[in-house]
Amino acid sequence: MKKGIHPEGYRLVVFKDMSNDYSFLTRSTAATRETITWEDGNEYPLVKVEISHMSHPFYTGKSVFVDTAGRIDKFKKRYEKKK
């Protein structure tokens, strides 16, 4: 492996899937300002994600329609004006 291309400063971080409230603890360098108290009583940085392996159709085998924060409506409104 090449030296000097990998990030430094890995730490324990909680990733939270906002579509189903599933959370998991892993090591990451992701920057965040929010924190959460984990099951072990310690406080860790929190990274919110829209889709994880617990909600992604490839892993779950289910086709789920996810409209996060009205993205489809925003898209339609944006391009409606150009007509």
The DSSP line for 55-79 is T-HHHH-------GGGHHHHHHHHH
**Which residue segment(s) compose the domain that 18 sits in?**
11-80
d(C-alpha 17, C-alpha 35), whole Å: 15
User: What are the tokens at 2?
Assistant: 């090449």
* Whether the Cβ atoms of residue 32 and residue 79 lie closer than 8 Å to each other: no
In this prediction the pTM is: 0.63
Is 69 a domain residue? yes
Is 1 a domain residue? no
Is 5 a domain residue? no
Total structural domains within the chain = 1
Is 49 a domain residue? yes
Q: Which of 18, 16, 48, 43 is nearest to 31 (CA)?
A: 48
pLDDT single digits (tens) 23-79 = 999 999 998 999 999 999 999 999 998 877 677 655 556 665 566 667 777 777 778
